[in-house]
Structure 1
């Protein structure tokens, strides 16, 4: 549960702006494609949606679509281009609310990559901008994101008092949002007590969260998960299972790993191992769709699947995923977040903003140390996994070398997911092999191979330069565009293709 809620807040954040009927045709397609994880179709719809917003000179809509594109695109070059667009439009618009939304989206992406420290910095910047914009929902989203990181990193000593004070201030200045405020804040407190196994206080704050509310379960359903976890820890296994199974349709995809895993544990306790295994497999399937994000129960999940699975290739795949979640304490290991005292806003501005500063300073009190003090230099311990892991690692490394020797990288539709399928492994483990064994990311490896291939071809056949256009040369090497082709050469040889070929021919 910890952390996965951030994606849900990202979902809410992007739709917190009013939706114009002009764009309904795009919204109606985006949601189903997102739910099916059909990223190619989703990208096409985003491009059309963005073009319409540009045509109408609707900068707010442009920013919203760009944030969605940034979230779903995994290629670093594409992400960099989108960030430049976001920054350019936001600066021209001079809208703090949009700036807050941008920082929040980027922070969420960093969180899902496991870079908690960078995510924390971005959420803090987003909170600053949300306060300056007097944006209640933005403040709540960032407060919960920050407390989520504290919970993930076991640095949560002062979170509950902070949340109580935050709620008091939010209710004072946003009385119309009182029920929404208390729902999210009290549920965060309930989760903290749940982590401490203080079930009575966890249940108490969960009850406070939902008291007096008429809940739309499609938006407000975290209390169902919290209630199920409380039941599970109290030994009410049937109740824990049933509360989730009966509400499966209301949970956003990002919450399903926690939901499925909790059901699996309850079923195991009820002595229904086959049904339990089925939900463990469902948990794995959703994590694969989400590209293996931070998941508190990841290690336990794959230890269970490794132990229960008999078929060797599937078992080996689960060992790879177990390795991923074992080492994917990621940048969380040694993250010792301290506090620094800050002053966020000029006290001469409106009383509302001054009051908000009070609870913000309360949270960041004593945080006067530098960012470097946040991280203690500890090495991540290498997990103690069976000898099979190293054997699989080496086999995959050899398979990648063979794949490369056949020049399969020239296929311009190749992706990490398609290569993982071809090599009968998963994207998380394959990505780790590229970074660990090859020393570069998958995308950089592919672009480097393509550059080296084209240089070799030109050396052997110099007339290619005069016989083919730049577009034809790019396509010949597997690049999808001139921009990608030129950028790859600049990164790998420090020159444009034309400059480099003039030198060698």
Structure 2
């Protein structure tokens, strides 16, 4: 009899423990949901609230998810160092003990997100695709894994948009939305974000009508449910982009005013930089010099602050990855993950961005030969954008550093893809950043550019940018009406003066003269 009593008592305690654990999990996910709500309402409140939950949290998986929320809040604030510190701590699990499959899955997702934040889209894409291959066909995927997989699809859609694989990007964003079945604040926000990202893809494709239809429905919902100011600002900022492309500058400004008002007292600094840039472009197009100067200064000041923080973040990331590389190696050996080579390779690529350098403007004197050379460059530029280049068509200029031929050819092919991607328009591009994106080192990349392009890195990038803007001026007449300062901005230059200097050194004439020549040809 006593044995039976003991048996039933044990069953009772085991059952009670299971119920208590389940109840604790439910309580945690309610708190996590509130934390994510605050992420899109006020990043500072989100950090404080989430840190409070984290302080009393012992479960490693729960800790990872909370730290990821904090990391995202710091990114929204434009504080890259803090974001990386929290995110890399997420990666710094106890490698000497067994960790769950979800922890590995989630840490890979968090790492891919950080790669994307610093502009290493290839590394981010590779890691995300490994996650997708491993988990997309899983039948018994958990609720946590399903939500994280939806985020993975969203991140990879952003990568594919950068690569200009628009149809793939749309397919991925739709897969992300289809996974969001559970009713929660997080899922609602992700669905809204996906709609805005989908509209952004259509804007990139120049399919403005489709983009505006999606944004219209999203904005209607947000206006009725005005509880996520960041998402509202995001939607209206993208609506402003669509209106700008339609040359509806007044409407674009109206959208930007709503976006700005939504977050004016909040530290969403990355979003504010987009809004300030939008204002400056539209006022410039309207020839409102006073308003243009006001917002151009706001944008320039904020951008400078963000760039400085991002560079500090990159340096911090390099130090962390070097310090923790041994821990990664030990963990990867213990877990016998097939992706070990990829993770180590991507860590090595991040180390390659430690030597970030500033772009400089080279100067040459004007002569007639430049105009002829530029004319030939334009022909080659158009051909390269229409066809796939081959290593056979690349002219070898000189040979200094000894590089294996296969490595050389691989870098040349990747440079060809880079030239077609328009990533050279990014003001933050540098030799070290591009080397990281192409998965090589700065010495090899510099040598290949010198050897086959006949230019140093800065000259190579500047020629690509000038050829690109010259191409737009010739093929899209509306660009002939834009101010030179706007042409400088969209082609990736930091100032009007540097753009004008480089333009003249490449083409042999100033931007204004070049535009006049095209107008004369058109009217003649």
Choose between structure 1 and 2: higher helix proportion. 2
| TM tier relative to shorter chain | 0.3 to 0.5
